[in-house]
Amino acid sequence: MTAAMMSAGRPGTAHPGPDGVAAPLLELDRVGIRLRTGGGEVSATRDVSFQVGPAERIGIVGESGCGKTLTGLAIMGLLPRGLARIDGAIRFQGRDLLTLSGRELRRVRGTGIAMIFQEPMSALDPVFTVGEQIIETILAHEPVGRRAARERAIDLLARVGIPLPARRADEYPHQLSGGMRQRAMIAIALACNPKLLIADEPTTALDVTIQAQIIDLLVELSETSGTALLFITHDLGVVAETCTRMVTMYAGEVVEDATVDDALVRPRHPYTAGLFSALPRLVARGAALPSIPGRVPSLIDMPEGCRFRPRCAHAIGLCELPQALLEPVPGQKARCIRTDALSLQGVVR
């Protein structure tokens, strides 16, 4: 995969806890999101727990409908309060974001946490120039004048690789290509030097050359500014190349949390192993392509116990019981009662 919250230190600065260990920048603690529907409340996510350290790059992977984007929006406080109810805690630099007022949360957005949305054409306002949208972000968070904000907006456009940035700043989103719009979104997200950048499928609908450029840009910005990155993606190749840790989500739950290297060599949850087995590879003509049978369950019809059980080739009777997030080896967690008994195939042999 780059004010009040900035006063705590420079981007990437680790703040030690009471035991001398660097405190996490972001911590999700048993987060559950319930959505109100015409038929009552449904559980969209359950017991979502993971941490992001300063300057760390983490990939969140899983099929569509597993709760990845919903989790990102919950961190940003962008879920409608009348339609979504969130349990648990989302702590950023030690403060629970779920307890903040709307005004306090707006101070955190932009300066503490920023988000690159999935589709830049719908995320950018079509009636304002790209430069105005960056300037508005800067003026909302920092005590600078409009001229200084414009100069910084042009500098940001240049920083993300947009040619002729002074000219592009005065153009509207529809005048830019898809790749340029995505770069403009990144410029807006980086406008106030956030400590955490959430990138929700940042390369959707872009050709492969532009995808590679955007990913390289995000990694370079993270390394130079110390910004932590939270990649939400379907692309396991991107995670393998750019992230240090991988969080696998399925049906609204975290089912595995491990370093990328550990997950690639030996995944601890059958769903992660299934995602790896479904990666495109050369096969004999006429051979069946590997896939995970079935589909992600509906929010109104979740299985009891392990939510992956109906699709899992390793399921036994005990899988009908509630599954805790276990840690079979230090630093690698899996929500599977059989994680110690299974020897699952990774992609690195």
- Domain extent listing, the chain: 23-243
Closest CA to 89 of 47, 55, 58, 57: 47
pLDDT of amino acid 21 = 56
Is residue 148 exposed (0-12), middle (13-18) or buried (19+ Cβ within 10 Å)?
Answer: middle
Q: What's the confidence (pLDDT) of residue 110?
A: 87
For residues 205 and 212, give the distance between their C-alpha atoms in angstroms, rounded to a whole number.
13
Residue 168 · residue 180 · CB < 8 Å: yes
Question: What predicted TM-score, i.e. pTM, was given to this entire model?
Answer: 0.88
Residue 187 makes CB contacts below 8 A (sequence gap 6+) with 130, 134, 153, 156, 157, 159, 160, 162
Round to whole Å and give the CA distance between 291 and 1: 27
Length of the chain: 349
Q: How far is CA 307 from the centre of its chain?
A: 22
Q: CA-to-CA distance for 4 and 11, rounded, in angstroms?
A: 13
Judge contact between 266 and 334, C-beta under 8 A. no
What 3-state DSSP class applies to 119? coil
Please give the full DSSP string across 72-139, using - where no structure is assigned.
HHHHHT-S-TTTEEEEEEEEETTEEGGGS-HHHHHHHHHHTEEEE-S-HHHHS-TTS-HHHHHHHHHH
Radius of gyration for the chain, computed over Cα atoms and rounded to the nearest angstrom = 21
Which pLDDT tens digit goes with each residue over 2-29?
333 333 333 334 444 445 556 899 999 9
- Average pLDDT along the chain: 88
What is the per-residue pLDDT for 271?
A: 96
Q: Give the residue ranges of the chain where pLDDT is below 70.
A: 1-22, 205, 282-284, 349
- In which element (H, E) is residue 84 found? strand 84-92
- Position 120 scores a pLDDT of 76
pLDDT value at residue 246: 97
Place of tokens 């984007």: 69
DSSP 86: E
CA atoms within 13 A on the CB side of 344: 28
Please report the DSSP string for 248-311 in residue order.
Answer: EEETTEEEEEEEHHHHHH--SSHHHHHHHHTS-----TTPPPP--SS-PPPTTSPPSS-TTGGG
**CATH superfamily of the 23-243 domain:** P-loop containing nucleotide triphosphate hydrolases (3.40.50.300)
Which two tokens mark 18? 């009471």
According to DSSP, residue 197 is labeled E
- Phi then psi for residue 29, to 5 deg, are -120, 100
